[in-house]
């Protein structure tokens, strides 16, 4: 972790970590420092994800980019989202369930499987416009495998 912060500092990037104690803290804490940042990024966590709508409104108001490490948030106003594709996980879970129910396989006998290609990067172009993010052609070419969502 120190290496990442050091490398970021060498590139002129500063990272503020905001400890969150409750859902009510999320928007208030982010709003206290949003003017001095370019991007609001959150990692996994129910407390932050439950405050997602408030973060979208805040980022739209201040023209800041919202990046969520929760794929579904990309459909709900984040400009960028990265995460597990729910349908891939759901299909794998259904396969395991069928093996247990239909074939009588004991859960402990099911193989541990690695879900390949189950993570995706999503760009919400409508949110990008609202949060004043310009998606230049070079970026779009680099991210040609990203999911482009043109909703709100």
Kindly report, residue by residue over 74-106, the tens digit of the pLDDT: 888 888 888 777 677 778 888 888 999 999 999
CA distance linking residue 61 with residue 118, whole number of Å: 33
Q: Among 17-26, 76-85, 119-128, where is mean pLDDT lowest?
A: 17-26
For the chain, give the mean pLDDT: 78
Q: Which residue, chain included where needed, has tokens 């259904």? A: 94
**Nearby residues of 94 by Cβ (< 8 Å), 6 or more positions away:** none
Q: Pull the structure tokens for residue 61.
A: 């108001």
Higher pLDDT, 46 or 107: 107
CA distance 77 to 31: 17
Helices 23-33, 52-62: axis angle to 10 degrees equals 10
Q: What is the DSSP letter of 64?
A: -
pLDDT value for 142: 64
Query: Distances in Å between the alpha carbon of 118 and those of 38, 68, 85, 146?
Result: 29, 17, 5, 12
3-class secondary-structure state, position 125: helix
**Of all residues in the chain, what percent carry a pLDDT higher than 70?**
80
Task: State pLDDT tens for residues 49-74.
Answer: 678 888 888 999 999 888 888 777 88
Q: Supply the pTM of this predicted model.
A: 0.67
Nearest to 71 by CA among 123, 114, 115, 113: 123
Structure tokens at 141: 């070419």
């Amino acid at each position: 972790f120190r290496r990442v912060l050091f490398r970021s500092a060498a590139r002129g990037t500063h990272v503020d970590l905001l400890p969150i104690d409750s859902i009510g803290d999320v928007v208030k804490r982010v709003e206290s420092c949003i003017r001095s940042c370019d991007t609001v990024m959150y990692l996994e966590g129910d407390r932050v994800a439950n405050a997602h709508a408030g973060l979208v409104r805040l980022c739209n108001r201040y023209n800041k980019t919202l990046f969520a490490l929760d794929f579904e948030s990309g459909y709900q106003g984040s400009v960028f989202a990265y995460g597990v594709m729910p349908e891939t996980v759901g299909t794998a879970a259904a396969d395991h369930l069928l093996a247990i129910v239909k074939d009588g396989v004991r859960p402990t006998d099911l193989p541990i499987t690695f879900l390949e290609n189950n993570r995706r990067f999503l760009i919400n172009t409508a949110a990008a416009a609202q949060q004043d993010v310009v998606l230049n052609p070079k970026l779009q070419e680099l991210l040609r495998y990203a999911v482009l969502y043109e909703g709100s």
